[in-house]
Amino acid sequence: MAGGKETPRQKMIGMMYLVLTALLAMNISKDVLNAFIQINRGMVKNAANAEQRADATMLLLDSWSDATKAAPFQTEAHKFVDESDALIKYIIELKARVLSASINGNADGAGFEAFLENGHLIDIGDKEKVSKPDENQNTTAMLIGSEPANPIETPWSAVELRKKLSAFSERAAAVEVTDVKGKVHKLAENSPETMNLIKSTFVFEDLSVPGEDQKEKWETALFYHTPVAAVISHLSKLENDVILVKNAVLNYLTSQINSSDLKFSDVTVAVVPKQSYIMRGDSFVAEIYLAAYNKNSSTRVYMSSGEAGENAKPELFDYSGMTPITSGSDGKCKFKINQSALGSHSHKGVIVYQDADGADKAIPFIVPAYTVGEASCVISPMNMMVLYKGIDNPIEVSVPGVDAGGLSVSINNGSLSKSGSFYNAVPSSEGKATVSVTATLNGRQFSAGTKEFEVKRLPSPMPKLGGKFGPSVASLSKNDIMANAFVTCDYPPEFPVGKGLAVTLGSCDISINGGLSINCPGGRIPQSAISQINALKPGQVVVISGIDARVNGQMVGSSSSLAFKIK
C-alpha cells in the first residue's frame, strides 16, 4: 500500500492485502450495498432541498428593497453560484461516468449520458441499469489506476476531483465584496463560523489505514477497490458539501448588505435551522438572529404557542407576558423544541431588538418547515399493503448501516419467522399488527422503528367454471361446461397474495333454470345436473351457489355465487 522501496516480505504482505481486499470486495454484504443505496437516496433528497434553499436566498437577494445597496452583493452571489453549479454539474457527470465505467468497462466513462435523467444521476437502486453494485475493478481503474500509492492524474480521475474541490474551497474562503460606501467585506474576517465550515468541509489529508501504522492518500482511501454503490454515495456526499458551502456563502452575502448601517432601518431576520429532517423524539434546533446584528444588541425572541400552517405569512402577535428566548454573547437566540409528532412542522415568532435610539423594534418571522420522520428503518410488505390472517405475509426489513444479523424483528399479533432475505408474518387475528425492529450497532442496541399494519381476513376465492371466473359470467356454452364438469375456486391473477395458496372446494349447489338445487361434492357436477344442462335452451340460466372454500386448510367461508346464461 505504501510507496517507496519495499523488501520482498513487504511486497508479499502488500500482495496478500490486495488479494484479501479483492476477496472482501467480491463478498460484500447485500445489506451493506442496500444501505449505501438508501444513504445515496437520502443525500440526493437533501441536495434537492438544499438547492431550494439556495434558490430562495438568491430570490431574496435579487428582490432586495434597496437595489443599489444590494447590487455588489448580488453580483458576487451570482458569480459564486455559477462556479458552484459548474462544480456540482461536474460531480453529477463524474457519477454518471463512474457508472458507465463500472457497467460498460469504458475507461473514461464514455456513454455516461445513458445514466442521466433530467440532468441528475439515475437511482443506483435500479437493478436493471445497475446490476452489479459491488463492482470495483473498473471504477478503480478510472479513478485511481493500478498504483494506489500514486493515483493517476487524468481527466475524471479522483485526483482531478480533489483539485477542483480544493480550488472551490479556496474560492469560497476568498469571497469579498466592496459595498457602495467603499467598505470591503471579507468573509475570512467577518464570518469565522463560515470559514470554519469551509475548512472542516473540504479536508483532503492522508487517511489512516485500519489496523496498520501507515496512511493512504485521500483518493486511494475513498475510491480504491471500493464498490461502485459506495463510490456513488461518496460522490453524492461531496456534492452535498458543495451545496452546503454555497448556501453558507449566500447567507453570508445576504447578512452583509445592511451590516455597515449604523441604524437597523432596513433589517431582516435570519432563521437558520440546523436540520430539515429529524427522527421521532429528536430535538429540532434553529438559530434565529438579525441578519445585520452586533454582539451588543439585546435581542429577544417570542415563539407562538401554535404552529404555522401551510402558506402562513409572518405576522405580529401579542407577546406581552410571554417568556422570551434571550440572545447569548454572540447576539444569537437559539430556539429548541423536542418534537415527537411525525410530519411537517413550522413555527411563528417575533424577534425584538433595539434600534440606534434604544427603542424596541419587532419583526415577525416563520421558522422554515422541517420534517419529523421515523428512524431510518424500512419495513415493507412484499405483496399487499395489508397483512392477511393465518397465511404467510412476506415482509422486507432493513436498517441502513446495520447488517441483517444485527436486527431483531418481532410482531405483536401472531408469529414472525426469518425466511432467506425476508420475514414471514402470520397474524393470528384480524385488526392491527405492529412489526417492531431493534438493531444492534457497535455493541449498542436501539429501537430502529415500528410499523403498524391492518390485518384482514383472507378474502374468499372466486368460483371458476369453463375457464371463467365468477361471480357473474355473461354466458357459457354447453361444450365449455362439459369439457370439464368441475366447479373450482381460485384467486384471480391481480391478487398477488393468492399465489402459492392451496385452494380447495368442499362442495357447492347448482340450480338449473330455477329448478331445485343439486349438491356437487368437491365441485363435481353430477350426471343428473349434466343431463338437465344438456336439455337447456340458449338464454336459460344456471346458478352455482353455496360454494364452500378452504385455503391452506383454513375455512374462509362461502365464496360468491356464479351465474351465467347458456349460449
Task: Give the number of other CB atoms < 10 A from CB of residue 164.
Answer: 17
Check residue 72 and give its pLDDT: 95
Tell me the per-residue pLDDT of 322-332, one tens digit each, with 9 for 90 and over: 999 988 877 77
- Among 437, 419, 340, which Cα is nearest to 379's? 437
Q: Is the residue at 263 inside a domain?
A: no
| Cell digits of residue 253 | 452575502
Give the residue-averaged pLDDT of 385-394: 89
Q: Is the residue at 141 inside a domain?
A: yes
- Among 391, 387, 386, 382, which Cα is nearest to 503's? 391
**Which of the listed residues 422, 456, 490 is the one where a domain comes to its end?**
456
DSSP state of 182: S
Q: Is the residue at 185 inside a domain?
A: yes
> How much is the CA Rg of the chain, to the nearest whole Å?
34
Distance CA 132, CA 24 (A): 15
Check residue 484 and give its pLDDT: 80
Tell me the per-residue pLDDT of 147-203, one tens digit each, with 9 for 90 and over: 999 999 999 999 999 999 999 999 999 999 999 989 999 999 999 999 999 999 998
More confident position, 88 or 37: 88
Check residue 141 and give its pLDDT: 92
Question: Domain count of the chain?
Answer: 4
Q: Is the residue at 450 inside a domain?
A: yes
pLDDT of 294 higher than 50: yes
DSSP state of 496: G
Same structural domain for residues 501 and 470?
Answer: yes
**Which of the listed residues 456, 475, 503 is the one where a domain comes to its end?**
456
Same structural domain for residues 406 and 501?
Answer: no
Q: Is the residue at 3 inside a domain?
A: no
- Among 408, 405, 289, which Cα is nearest to 349's? 289
pLDDT of 3 higher than 50: no
CATH number at residue 273: 2.60.40.10
Same structural domain for residues 365 and 386?
Answer: no
Q: Is the residue at 264 inside a domain?
A: no
At residue 4 the predicted structure's pLDDT band, cuts being 50, 70 and 90, is very low
Residue 118 domain boundaries: 8-256
What is the pLDDT of the chain when averaged over all its residues? 83
At residue 373 the predicted structure's pLDDT band, cuts being 50, 70 and 90, is low
More confident position, 261 or 492: 492
Positive or negative, the CA dihedral 347, 352, 355, 359 is positive
Distance CA 293, CA 187 (A): 16
At residue 278 the predicted structure's pLDDT band, cuts being 50, 70 and 90, is low
**Which of the listed residues 408, 435, 456 is the one where a domain comes to its end?**
456
